């Protein structure tokens, strides 16, 4: 008996230990490569670098909270929360509240996916033999990856202030890093990017180069981060990088001869609304739009003014959701003659603050003669405008547009044109009205005002490089170039107020204002924004009203708590077992949740 | 005690026999006699009847005596349960002394064990054997649906009431966090699918519950094994037997009275919750308010609208079997169709056609023994179905329960209320409201799944003692489908401006190959040894799939839509897509096994098994698992010193076992870091040339290895009172170790998690089952009752936090602070976690009293009002946070039971059976309080609210869902927990077999029957169906979460069963 058992056991064990037998179970993964065999070639390395870029698309899907650009627009004094009563995300965002305790969870994970992919690419490519690469490509790939990691880290720092700093693929549960550690990491990555990415890659329309991170993008981003850090935290240096160094880098970037980046001739031609399909110029017909009147021609994506932006493919699945949220709406969510050339199929989640419009309109140094005024502000509904804004004598571009009374809250009748989704006729004879002009550009794109937007999300414009230099050097060189472009007289001398105004109007509703205020006035930004937007005319579900703060949770009160930073997703706090601390303003008892019925308006 | 019992039983029998006897007409002559057993003890209540005329008969009395008047020359039969029947012809003799031989046939029966059969008497493990007849009597579409009441220790829950939905079977408690279903072995082929099998084709099902019984299947047997044997032709069945079974019926959903509220009730409820959302309802739905006033309409109860009234179900099965010396065969054909009870106007359905062929050929015969035998078993099934998503937020059923009643489903003229009608009427009460019925009607689809499972085998018996067998089994799945969606506009933003067609096809194959050698010999008369060695290999074969989508079809109709009926090239179609995939053959599992059975005088039994399995799911060095087991049995009743109990204890066997089994059911390649190439970015100037982006998509775990289940079991099988009474008892401890767990990982890791060997759980329990078979005159009856108790307790979890997180946001999106269920040491797996309450504040005085006692209040003392929940601040620190969250419910039943009663009198048969589960809780919320204040209400919820002092002490007042009564500082809470004990009458059948009465008819059987399934559910649960077969589609190990579930149907049917 025992013998038999023993024999069986011995047989089995002998068989098992037999290498040959074991190898019968070896399985090759034909559908995926694995880390033991990847990357092996330069092409593999390039694909790893691509993934560092690819993650950015996921920052444009799902909740509007994912899009930092949009969050900053809404939270600033440029734009109200607006939207429909059910779009709690935007209303909450506008008031530095959260619509749920996990609204940030997917974006948190996306950012860390981005970091992990950068870390993996850096480790794997560094370990590869230099001889596998053509020319200076290894440094080029590594430099781009450093840039991407810095970009993610900066977006996270701007959003959450501090967070666990993962700079390698071996990650364990860890607490938040300090502010200085984070900015040191960003500075190091950007320095690497500046040093490693060959200077020959500037702005380019060449295939495989369009939209890549360049040395100059790194220099510009360094300027952006350095100015935020030194301003917000009141420092003179950032990780040993001083002002002189930053100016030198920015000047390098601003040097059109080396960087090839430059201003476009008209700022308005950066935006989709100047496209030739909506204006009919493509068909040799004049559809009578603003673009026709001003003879504007969209320069398209990959503008030489876009030093850094997120790009979408006409054939890939990603798209820019900004237009979906910013786009205004009518009751059928379909464009018609009253909304043309705009699409009217958006969520209507942004109304431009009328107090801001008035300030611009009445500013003697700017006013409606500033080409950027009508280039930015879309004015609708002649009757309402006349009644609500007696001071406004300007153009009403969509006089008959009536919106959607039963849905819109905090509607001001001023919308932003930048990023606005555009309708277009399919031909000069106006045979059919497309909801999205991209569908005409390329039939593979959805004819949908929401998922069919393939325009760049622009993070750093060349104009910003010029204005950063002016601000650092207290000069008017950049300002006056921009003013000239906008049809305004040059300034004779620099002042901080002039610089501030120039930035405000040049970058109006582009998501710059919020962080500008935070770095200029780290403590007072909340009060400024509150003052600049409270009391503006709004319509709440069609009824006249004025913009009001929430009792006990006004913008300045929320800012005092949060300093403009956002909530750490609760799920991550749970998963990290107490290692991760919630940000101030979003802790238990801090009344951070925005729920139905919190808006103080009576209808 | 026993004698007394027998006396009572005897008297009863005599009475009934007398009653029966009254009907017998006086005949020629009277006979008398006694009936005794081998030990000369009288056999009481034995039936003495005339063969061919059952109306003439008598029963023996307490002394075993009888008298009977019979026709001359008649043949008399004497029958008694537990004895072999006897017949004799009446000659001149008038006094008969009859000795009945004990019938141990039941114990001599053989049952199927892994890779062989064994006498039931010699089994040393805990197994359950269910015969095909028992299964067929229940008339279910799936054999598992027939087992509810007869399998102690096996928990069967249908995954939903969608027709054709599968079953979740848990044997001896949930032990894994992965797939917990047992291994199904059909005719020796592991990994089969019971859904494809017609229950009428089943000869028997054997369920192996303990580790030792299942050990021969080592790998993947951790959850137990279900062995299914299909009908085979029998030797000597020279004339073919033809069977014909058919039934038709209709079904109704088991809603337990749950339905949605009317529009006016809804508006009132929203107002009572303090929401001003519909203050200007007259403006946003002017026409519908007019309808309400005129009494033309009062809101849409989407759920009720979706009910498919009297959904038909029918089944037709034809079988032929027979066999001679050389060939044995069994063929069958089945067609069954069932509509679901929900999904109107386009209800769900399930349509299955099954063809099966089992044959075996004797190739070489010697001394009437098959020396070489070749055979095959093949089942081909063709299925077609339309489903519905159920369980989980956003599923179809959940949407039906929560959809606003303010949107009409139908216009007054009976047509669907479309978006154009919303515009026509200025209906604007909600954003983007889709008419669910319209949506349900949109898509047309047609598809077939063809599945083939079967094997061929060759058996060689060179000498009597040795049996060599090799079998090659194949499973192949093929699916084809075509779908068509017309262009539509359901709301302003839910539209598609083009019609689209999708076609897909896929093929996948798996095969197994096994070799076994079995040697059996009896030495010196008393020592029987049986040894088995074998090897098996299981592999995935070539497989592939293709699918394509195109838009703007030429004809724009469903009938003509296909991928080619579109103008232009694929590239010119903006909405076109194409996809495909394939699998390359590889070996999944390689196994070696051996088994030794030894028995001495059929009295002492011993079995040892060892099996080694290698799985490709693990890295080299972690691939092999060795799973041993031992078991032993002792038939005490065969001992000479037990002779004294012989007259009441017929059989008593004690058995015990210990063993281990493995589990490797996880996704492949988790031991290595795989690179995903699914990313893209576009660096081209014209933006039409995206390039591939590659990134690691998981955090690899190279140490991943087998999950092991270890079980210690002790039990006894016994038969009493001439085998009338059967009692089976089992006790077990089952530990599942090295759980294959995929814990949710921290976002900072930057890639998705891989599985780990991360935990252990213990299930321990007892099972007890009683059966009683007897007859009272012509009335044969049997009663079965079984119950099992199981305790589920997690032993350890290897993750950093020491427990395994479930999902948060179970009840509502904003209840996010902590997971709603968890696997944690010392608690049952998947227990519900949350804030506990101790009632509802009934009045202000109570609030003041609590305040005076220094209680903390969740919203502060000032905010508390009557009707609010009294939350328990467990640690008394004045704050309600994670530390106050405790176990608020357990989804596992403590106790499950089954019962069955069947009666047979002359040609009439009647049976009733049911099952119940007790001690478990269900977490239920059809609406998402804290997120969607405007979701609809169901009547059971309305009935639950606190409406004033004394109305209820378990559910709060009406208020906005964002009130802490419903979201409790964003923690889950016990106001959503309910006891879900239930007792269900699963099946009631009444049948009549004409053959029993009209002996001359040319059938072996001609039975008609009516059956009701699931007719009665006794429960205190207020939701639809307490038998919630889902954890709402989240983790495998969660259960008992009801967020809108497709209830099981009540079925009423009638049928006929004919045998030629």
Count of H helices and E strands in chain A? 25, 11
pLDDT of residue B14: 45
CA B759 to chain centre: 26
Give the whole-angstrom CA distance, residue B760 versus residue B798: 9
Place of tokens 């429960």: B1019
**Which of B675, B699, B706 to probe the A interface (max A CBs under 10 A)?**
B675
pLDDT of residue B20: 41
Alpha-helical runs (H) found in B432-534: 436-442
The mean pLDDT value of chain A amounts to: 92
Is residue B981 within 8 Å of B917, Cβ to Cβ? yes
- From residue A52, alpha-carbon distances to A143, A149, A564, B377, B530 in Å are 12, 8, 27, 54, 63
Give the whole-angstrom CA distance, residue A262 versus residue A260: 6
Is residue B607 within 8 Å of B597, Cβ to Cβ? yes
Is residue A303 within 8 Å of A271, Cβ to Cβ? no
User: pLDDT (tens digit, 9 = 90+) per residue, B664-688?
Assistant: 888 888 888 889 988 899 999 999 8
Q: What angle do CA B223, B226, B232 make, to 5 degrees?
A: 165
Count of CB pairs separated by less than 8 Å, A with B: 283
Residue whose C-alpha is closest to residue B280's, from B267, B292, B293 = B267
Is residue B750 within 8 Å of A119, Cβ to Cβ? yes
Give the whole-angstrom CA distance, residue B458 versus residue B460: 7
Give B894's strand partners.
none
Q: What stretches of B703-820 adopt beta strand conformation (E)? A: 707-720, 725-737, 740-741, 756-757, 759-776, 779-797, 804-805
A101:B970 CB<8 A: yes
Is residue B341 within 8 Å of B307, Cβ to Cβ? yes
DSSP-assigned states of every residue in B1036-1059: TT---EESS--PPEEEEEEEEEEE
Is residue A292 within 8 Å of A439, Cβ to Cβ? no
With CA atoms as reference, the chain B residue closest to A57 would be: B681
Taking the CA of residue B434 and the nearest CA in chain A, the distance in Å comes to: 14
Averaged over successive runs of 10 residues, the pLDDT of chain A (603 residues) comes to 55 59 81 85 96 91 80 94 80 91 90 96 96 96 98 97 96 95 98 98 93 97 98 97 98 97 97 96 95 95 95 87 86 86 87 96 96 97 96 95 86 95 92 91 85 93 98 97 97 97 97 97 97 94 91 96 95 88 92 82 70
Is residue A407 within 8 Å of A351, Cβ to Cβ? no
Give the whole-angstrom CA distance, residue B2 versus residue B44: 13
Residues of A in contact with B668 (CB under 8 A): 27, 29
User: pLDDT (tens digit, 9 = 90+) per residue, B234-267?
Assistant: 777 778 889 999 999 999 999 999 999 999 999 9
Give the whole-angstrom CA distance, residue A212 versus residue B714: 70
DSSP-assigned states of every residue in B343-404: STTS--EEEEEEEEEEEEEEEEEETTEEEEEEEEEEEEEEEEEE----SSTTSHHHHHHHS-
Is residue B63 within 8 Å of B30, Cβ to Cβ? no
B682:A120 CB<8 A: no
Provide CB contacts within 8 A for A557, sequence distance 6+. A526
Question: Which 8-state DSSP code applies to residue B262?
Answer: P
The torsion of the CA quartet B815, B818, B822, B826, rounded to 10 degrees, works out to -130
Residue whose C-alpha is closest to residue B1058's, from B1008, B983, B1012 = B1008
A39:B814 CB<8 A: no
Taking the CA of residue A299 and the nearest CA in chain B, the distance in Å comes to: 12
Please give the model's pTM, rounded to 2 decimal places: 0.81
- From residue A417, alpha-carbon distances to A271, A361, B292 in Å are 8, 16, 44
A27:B431 CB<8 A: no
Place of tokens 């179809």: B396
Question: Which 8-state DSSP code applies to residue B938?
Answer: B
Taking the CA of residue B520 and the nearest CA in chain A, the distance in Å comes to: 14
DSSP run (H or E) holding B52: none
Provide CB contacts within 8 A for A513, sequence distance 6+. A72, A73, A76, A77, A78, A503, A504, A507
Residue whose C-alpha is closest to residue B154's, from B1003, B893, B985 = B893
**Residues of chain B under the 70 pLDDT cut:** 1-28, 52-55, 81, 103-108, 177-178, 1029-1034
From the number of C-beta atoms within 10 Å of its C-beta (0-12, 13-18, 19+), residue B293 rates as exposed
Give B590's strand partners.
B537, B614
Is residue A258 within 8 Å of A219, Cβ to Cβ? no
Task: Tell me the helix, strand and coil percentages in chain A, rounded to 5.
Answer: 45, 10, 45
Give the whole-angstrom CA distance, residue B846 versus residue A415: 54
Q: Which tokens sit at B632?
A: 């032993």
Task: Tell me the helix, strand and coil percentages in chain B, rounded to 5.
Answer: 15, 45, 40
DSSP-assigned states of every residue in B1024-1035: S-S----STTS-
Which phi-psi region, left, alpha or beta, contains residue A376 (left: φ > 0; alpha: ψ -120 to 50)?
alpha
Give B690's strand partners.
B682
Q: Which tokens sit at B229?
A: 């044997």
- From residue A63, alpha-carbon distances to A94, A107, A325, B494, B679 in Å are 15, 9, 10, 18, 20
pLDDT of residue B929: 86
Q: Hey, how many other C-beta atoms are within 10 angstroms of the C-beta on B325?
A: 12
B814:A593 CB<8 A: yes
Question: Which 8-state DSSP code applies to residue B81?
Answer: T
B687:A314 CB<8 A: yes
B970:A447 CB<8 A: no
Place of tokens 């000869």: B203
Pairing verdict, β B543-551 and B577-583: antiparallel
pLDDT of residue B154: 86
Give the whole-angstrom CA distance, residue B826 versus residue B1039: 18
Work out whether the CA dihedral B392, B393, B399, B403 comes out positive or negative: positive
Taking the CA of residue A319 and the nearest CA in chain B, the distance in Å comes to: 12
Give the whole-angstrom CA distance, residue B997 versus residue B499: 62
Provide CB contacts within 8 A for A580, sequence distance 6+. A164, A175, A176, A568, A572, A573
Give B528's strand partners.
B522, B599
Give the whole-angstrom CA distance, residue B60 versus residue B14: 7
CA B494 to chain centre: 38
Give the whole-angstrom CA distance, residue B615 versus residue A257: 62
User: pLDDT (tens digit, 9 = 90+) per residue, A64-84?
Assistant: 777 889 999 999 999 998 877
Which phi-psi region, left, alpha or beta, contains residue B757 (left: φ > 0; alpha: ψ -120 to 50)?
beta
pLDDT of residue B19: 41
Taking the CA of residue A594 and the nearest CA in chain B, the distance in Å comes to: 10
A54 closest CB neighbour out of B279, B668, B681: B681
Taking the CA of residue A2 and the nearest CA in chain B, the distance in Å comes to: 10
Residue whose C-alpha is closest to residue A1's, from B601, B595, B828, B692 = B595
**Which of A316, A339, A348, A456 to probe the B interface (max B CBs under 10 A)?**
A316
With CA atoms as reference, the chain A residue closest to B622 would be: A22
B933:A596 CB<8 A: yes
């Amino acid at each position: 008996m025992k013998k038999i058992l023993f024999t069986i056991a011995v047989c089995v064990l002998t068989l098992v230990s037999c290498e040959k037998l074991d190898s019968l179970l070896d399985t090759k993964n034909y559908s995926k490569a694995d880390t033991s065999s990847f990357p092996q070639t330069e092409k593999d390395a390039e694909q790893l670098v691509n993934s560092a870029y690819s993650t950015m698309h996921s920052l444009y899907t799902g909740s509007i909270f994912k899009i930092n650009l949009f969050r900053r627009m809404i939270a600033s004094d440029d734009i109200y929360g607006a939207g429909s009563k059910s779009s709690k995300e935007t209303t909450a965002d506008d008031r530095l509240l959260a619509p749920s305790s996990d609204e940030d969870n997917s974006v948190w994970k996306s950012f860390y996916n981005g970091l992990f992919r950068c870390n993996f690419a850096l480790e794997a490519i560094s370990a590869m033999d230099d001889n596998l690469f053509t020319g200076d490509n290894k440094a080029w790939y590594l430099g781009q990856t450093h840039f991407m990691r810095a970009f993610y880290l900066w977006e996270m720092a701007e959003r959450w202030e501090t967070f666990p700093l993962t700079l390698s693929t071996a990650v364990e549960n860890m607490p938040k890093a300090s502010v200085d550690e984070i900015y040191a990491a960003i500075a190091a990555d950007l320095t690497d990017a500046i040093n490693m990415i060959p200077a020959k890659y500037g702005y380019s329309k060449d295939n495989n180069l369009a939209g890549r991170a360049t040395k100059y993008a790194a220099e510009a981003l360094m300027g952006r981060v350095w100015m935020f850090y030194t301003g917000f935290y009141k420092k003179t240096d950032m990780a040993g990088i001083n002002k002189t160094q930053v100016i030198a880098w920015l000047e390098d970037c601003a040097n059109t001869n080396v960087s090839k980046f430059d201003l476009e001739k008209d700022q308005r031609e950066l935006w989709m609304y100047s496209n030739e399909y909506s204006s009919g110029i493509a068909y040799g017909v004049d559809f009578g739009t603003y673009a026709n009147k001003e003879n504007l021609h969209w320069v398209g994506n990959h503008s030489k003014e876009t030093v850094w932006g997120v790009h979408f493919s006409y054939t890939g699945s990603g798209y820019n959701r900004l237009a979906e949220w910013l786009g205004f709406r009518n009751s059928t969510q379909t464009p018609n003659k009253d909304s043309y050339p705009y699409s009217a199929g958006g969520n209507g989640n942004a109304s431009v603050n009328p107090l801001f419009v008035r300030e611009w309109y009445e500013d003697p140094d700017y006013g409606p003669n500033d080409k950027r005024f009508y280039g930015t502000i879309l004015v609708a509904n002649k009757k309402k405008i006349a009644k609500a804004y007696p001071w406004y004598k300007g153009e009403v571009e969509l006089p008959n547009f009536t919106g959607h009374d039963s849905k819109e809250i905090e509607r001001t009748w001023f919308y932003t044109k930048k990023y606005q989704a555009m309708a277009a006729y399919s031909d000069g004879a106006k045979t059919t009205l497309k909801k999205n002009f991209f569908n005409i550009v390329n039939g593979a794109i959805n004819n949908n005002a929401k998922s069919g937007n393939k325009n760049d999300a622009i993070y750093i414009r060349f104009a910003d490089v010029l204005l950063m230099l002016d601000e650092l050097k207290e000069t008017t060189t950049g300002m006056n170039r921009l003013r000239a472009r906008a049809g305004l007289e040059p300034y004779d001398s620099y002042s901080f107020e002039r610089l501030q105004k120039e930035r405000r109007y040049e970058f109006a509703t582009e998501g710059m204002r919020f962080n500008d205020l935070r770095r200029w006035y780290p403590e007072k930004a909340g009060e400024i924004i509150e003052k600049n937007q409270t009391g503006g005319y709004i319509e709440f579900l069609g009824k006249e009203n004025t913009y009001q703060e929430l009792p006990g949770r006004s913008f300045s009160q929320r800012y005092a708590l949060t300093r403009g930073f956002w909530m750490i997703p609760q799920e991550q706090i749970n998963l990290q077992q107490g290692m991760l601390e919630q940000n101030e303003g979003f802790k238990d008892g801090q009344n951070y949740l925005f729920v139905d019925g919190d808006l103080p308006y009576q209808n | 005690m026993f004698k007394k019992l027998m006396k009572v039983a005897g008297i009863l029998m005599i009475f009934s026999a007398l009653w029966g006897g009254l009907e017998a007409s006086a005949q020629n002559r009277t006979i008398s006699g006694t009936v005794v057993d081998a030990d000369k003890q009288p056999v009481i209540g034995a039936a003495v009847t005339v063969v061919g005329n059952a109306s003439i008969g008598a029963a023996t009395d307490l002394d075993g005596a009888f008298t009977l008047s019979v026709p001359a020359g008649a043949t008399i039969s004497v029958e008694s349960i537990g004895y072999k029947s006897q017949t004799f012809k009446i000659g001149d003799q008038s006094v008969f002394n009859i000795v009945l031989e004990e019938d141990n046939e039941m114990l001599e029966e053989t049952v199927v064990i892994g890779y062989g059969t064994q006498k039931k008497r010699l089994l040393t493990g805990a197994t359950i054997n269910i015969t095909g007849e028992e299964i067929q009597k229940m008339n279910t579409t799936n054999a598992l649906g027939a087992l509810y009441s007869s399998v102690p220790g096996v928990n069967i829950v249908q995954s939903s009431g969608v027709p054709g939905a599968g079953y979740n079977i848990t044997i001896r408690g949930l032990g894994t966090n992965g797939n917990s279903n047992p291994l199904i072995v059909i005719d020796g082929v592991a990994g089969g699918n019971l859904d494809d099998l017609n229950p009428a084709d089943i000869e028997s099902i054997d369920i192996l519950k303990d580790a030792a019984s299942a050990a021969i299947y080592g790998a993947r047997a951790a959850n137990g094994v279900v062995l299914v044997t299909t009908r085979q032709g029998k030797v000597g069945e020279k004339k073919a037997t033809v069977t014909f079974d058919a039934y038709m019926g209709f079904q109704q959903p088991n809603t337990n009275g749950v339905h949605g509220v009317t529009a006016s009730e809804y508006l009132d409820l929203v107002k009572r919750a303090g929401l001003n959302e519909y203050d200007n309802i007259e403006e946003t739905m002017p026409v519908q308010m007019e309808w309400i006033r005129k009494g033309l309409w009062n809101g849409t109860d989407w759920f009720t609208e979706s009910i498919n009234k009297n959904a038909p179900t029918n089944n037709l099965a034809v079988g032929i079997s027979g066999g001679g010396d050389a060939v044995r065969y069994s063929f069958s054909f089945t067609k069954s169709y069932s509509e679901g009870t929900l999904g109107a106007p386009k209800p769900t359905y399930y349509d299955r056609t099954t063809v099966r062929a089992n044959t075996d050929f004797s190739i070489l015969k010697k001394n009437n023994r098959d020396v070489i035998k070749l055979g095959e078993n093949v089942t081909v099934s063709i299925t077609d179905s339309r489903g519905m998503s159920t369980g989980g937020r956003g599923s179809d059923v959940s949407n039906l329960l929560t959809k606003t009643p303010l949107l009409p489903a139908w216009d007054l003229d009976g047509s669907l209320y479309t978006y154009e009608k919303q515009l026509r009427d200025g209906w604007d009460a909600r954003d983007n409201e889709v008419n669910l019925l319209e949506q349900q009607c949109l898509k047309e689809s047609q598809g077939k799944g063809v599945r083939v499972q079967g094997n061929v085998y060759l058996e060689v018996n060179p000498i009597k003692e040795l049996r060599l067998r090799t079998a090659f089994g194949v499973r192949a799945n093929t699916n084809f489908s075509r779908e068509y969606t017309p262009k539509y506009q359901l709301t302003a933003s839910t539209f598609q401006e083009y019609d689209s067609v999708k076609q897909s096809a896929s093929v996948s194959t798996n095969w197994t190959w096994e070799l076994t050698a079995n040697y059996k010999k009896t030495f010196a008369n008393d020592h029987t040894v049986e040894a088995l060695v074998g090897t098996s290999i299981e592999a995935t074969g070539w497989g592939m799939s293709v699918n394509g989508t195109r838009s703007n079809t030429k004809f724009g109709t469903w009938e003509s839509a296909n991928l080619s009926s579109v103008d232009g090239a694929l590239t010119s179609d903006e909405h076109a897509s194409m996809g495909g995939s394939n699998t390359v053959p590889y070996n999944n599992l390689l196994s070696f096994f051996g088994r030794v059975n030894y028995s001495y005088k059929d009295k002492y039994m011993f079995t040892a098994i060892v099996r080694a399995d290698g799985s490709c799911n693990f890295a080299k060095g972690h691939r092999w698992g060795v799973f041993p087991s031992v078991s032993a049995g002792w038939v005490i009743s065969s001992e000479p010193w037990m002779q004294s109990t012989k007259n009441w204890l017929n059989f008593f066997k004690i058995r015990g076992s210990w063993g281990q089994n493995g589990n490797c059911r996880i996704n492949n390649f988790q031991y290595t870091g795989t690179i995903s190439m699914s990313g893209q970015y576009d660096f081209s100037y014209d933006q039409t040339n995206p390039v591939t982006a590659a990134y690691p998509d998981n955090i690899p775990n190279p140490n991943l290895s087998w999950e092991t289940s270890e079980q210690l079991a002790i039990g006894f099988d016994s038969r009493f009172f001439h085998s009338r009474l059967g009692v089976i008892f089992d006790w077990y401890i089952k530990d599942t170790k090295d759980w294959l767990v995929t814990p949710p990982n921290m976002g900072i890791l930057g890639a998705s998690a891989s599985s780990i060997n991360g935990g252990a759980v213990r299930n321990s329990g007892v099972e007890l089952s009683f059966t009683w078979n007897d007859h009272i005159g012509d009335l044969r009856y049997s009663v079965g009752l079984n119950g099992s108790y199981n305790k589920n307790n997690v032993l350890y979890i290897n993750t950093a936090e020491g427990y395994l997180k479930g999902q948060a946001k179970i009840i509502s999106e904003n209840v996010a602070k902590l997971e709603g269920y968890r696997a944690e040491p010392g608690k049952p797996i998947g227990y519900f976690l949350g804030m506990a309450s101790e009632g509802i504040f009934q009045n202000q005085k109570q609030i003041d009293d609590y305040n005076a006692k220094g209680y903390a209040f969740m919203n502060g003392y000032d905010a508390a009002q009557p009707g609010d929940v009294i939350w328990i601040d467990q640690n008394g620190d004045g704050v309600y946070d994670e530390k106050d969250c405790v176990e608020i419910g357990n989804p596992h039943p403590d106790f499950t039971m089954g019962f069955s009663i069947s009666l047979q009198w002359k040609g009439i048969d009647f049976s009733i059976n049911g099952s119940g589960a007790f001690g478990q809780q269900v977490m239920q919320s059809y609406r998402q309080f804290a997120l969607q204040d405007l979701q609809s209400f169901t009547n059971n919820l309305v009935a639950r609210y606190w409406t004033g002092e004394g109305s209820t002490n378990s559910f709060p007042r009406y208020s906005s869902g964002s009130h802490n009564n419903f979201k409790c500082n964003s923690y889950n809470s016990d106001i959503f927990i309910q006891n879900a004990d239930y007792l269900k009458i699963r099946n009631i059948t009444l049948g009549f077999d004409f053959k029993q009465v009209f002996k001359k008819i040319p059938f072996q059987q001609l039975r008609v029957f009516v059956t009701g399934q699931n007719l009665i559910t006794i429960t205190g649960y207020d939701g639809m169906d307490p038998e919630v077969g889902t954890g709402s589609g989240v983790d495998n190990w969660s259960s008992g979460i009801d967020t809108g579930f497709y209830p099981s149907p009540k079925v009423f049917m009638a049928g006929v069963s004919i045998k030629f």
